[in-house]
Structure formats: C-alpha cells, structure tokens
C-alpha cells in the first residue's frame, strides 16, 4: 500500500513540484494551504507523513507543529519541515517545535525522495516519543 503524505504549502509552485515528485514515486499526496485546513485534514486522514512549510498564512508551521504534537492522535506521525529559512538558530527552532527534521528548498529530487523514505521508515518507532 502506498504511503499517504500530507503536504502543507501555501506556494502553488512549490506545492506542484513536491506533489509531482511524490506522485511520480508512487506516494499518495494530499495538500493543505494553511494551518487550519492542515489540522482538519490531518485529523481526518491520519497521513503516514506530514511535510510542512514554515512560512504559512495565519499561525505558521512552528505553531502548527506544536498543535500536531499536542494531539494524541497525531503525536507519532513523522513531521518534516520544508523550508527556505537558513538563518542560524532556525534548525533548533524547527526541531524544538516538534519537527523530526527538515528539508531545505530548493528541492533536489533524488535526495528529497531518499529523505522521505527515511522518515517513513521511522514511523511508529521514533525513540523520542
Ligand atoms: Mn510559504
């Protein structure tokens, strides 16, 4: 069975690129464009992995990560930030918000897919939780 991946991304071009890539590798993709839609979709669909942009309209990815981690039904879903942020301290801010890791934009297809496979592999056995 294909893994189901929720992408939270407000930029249409980035969303298209990531969706296309994941589809091409056989993943089932669902998309949300803001944090409210993302939470509703995550609770309803229980994806195997969540990919989340950091700069989003409304609350943003950092706040969304805290909400996902506070939800018993979503707590153990692998959560990966996809972000262009490159400032010193962002890595710590992202990880301490509850993300398992992050991928930097721009996306490089081969390494991106390898990263996704890696995070799907930790599903249910992350020693942090
Ligand atoms: Mn954005």
Q: 20-75, pLDDT tens digit by residue?
A: 999 999 999 999 999 999 999 999 999 999 999 999 988 899 999 999 999 999 99
Complete edge-to-edge strand list for the sheet that includes strand 49-53: 28-32, 4-8, 49-53, 79-83, 101-104
Ligand 1 centre distance from Cα of residue 54 (Å) = 6
Ligand 1 centre distance from Cα of residue 111 (Å) = 21
Q: Provide CB contacts within 8 A for 41, sequence distance 6+.
A: 6, 30, 32
Tell me the C-alpha distance between 80 and 118, whole Å: 11
Stretch 119-128: mean pLDDT, rounded? 59
pLDDT at residue 85 tops 80? no
What burial class does residue 44 get, using C-beta atoms within 10 Å of its C-beta: 0-12 exposed, 13-18 middle, 19+ buried?
Answer: exposed
User: For the chain, where are the alpha helices, taking DSSP H only?
Assistant: 12-24, 35-45, 61-70, 90-96, 109-121
Q: Output the pTM of the full model.
A: 0.90
pLDDT at residue 126 tops 60? no
Diameter of the chain measured on Cα atoms: 39
Q: Which of 5-9, 80-84, 91-95 has the highest mean pLDDT?
A: 5-9
Ligand 1 centre distance from Cα of residue 39 (Å) = 16
Ligand 1 centre distance from Cα of residue 126 (Å) = 27
Helix, strand or coil for residue 68?
helix
pLDDT: which is higher, 5 or 86: 5
| Cα–Cα distance list, 34 to 10, 54, 69, 123 (Å) | 7, 11, 17, 24
Stretch 108-121: mean pLDDT, rounded? 93
Q: How far is CA 19 from the centre of its chain?
A: 12
Ligand 1 centre distance from Cα of residue 33 (Å) = 9
> Which token pair is 15?
């969303």
* pLDDT value at residue 87: 67
| Tally of helices (H runs) and strands (E runs) in the chain | 5, 5
Stretch 86-109: mean pLDDT, rounded? 88
């Amino acid at each position: 069975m294909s893994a189901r991946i929720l992408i939270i991304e407000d930029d249409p071009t980035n969303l298209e690129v990531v969706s296309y890539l994941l589809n091409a590798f056989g993943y089932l993709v669902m998309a949300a464009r803001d944090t409210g839609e993302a939470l509703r979709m995550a609770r309803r669909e229980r994806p195997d992995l969540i990919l989340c942009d950091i700069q989003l309209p409304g609350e943003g990815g950092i706040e969304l990560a805290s909400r996902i981690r506070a939800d018993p039904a979503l707590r153990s879903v692998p959560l990966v930030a996809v972000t262009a942020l490159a400032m010193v301290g962002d890595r710590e801010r992202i990880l301490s918000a509850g993300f398992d890791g992050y991928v930097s934009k721009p996306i490089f297809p081969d390494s991106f897919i390898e990263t996704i496979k890696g995070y799907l592999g930790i599903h249910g056995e992350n020693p942090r939780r």
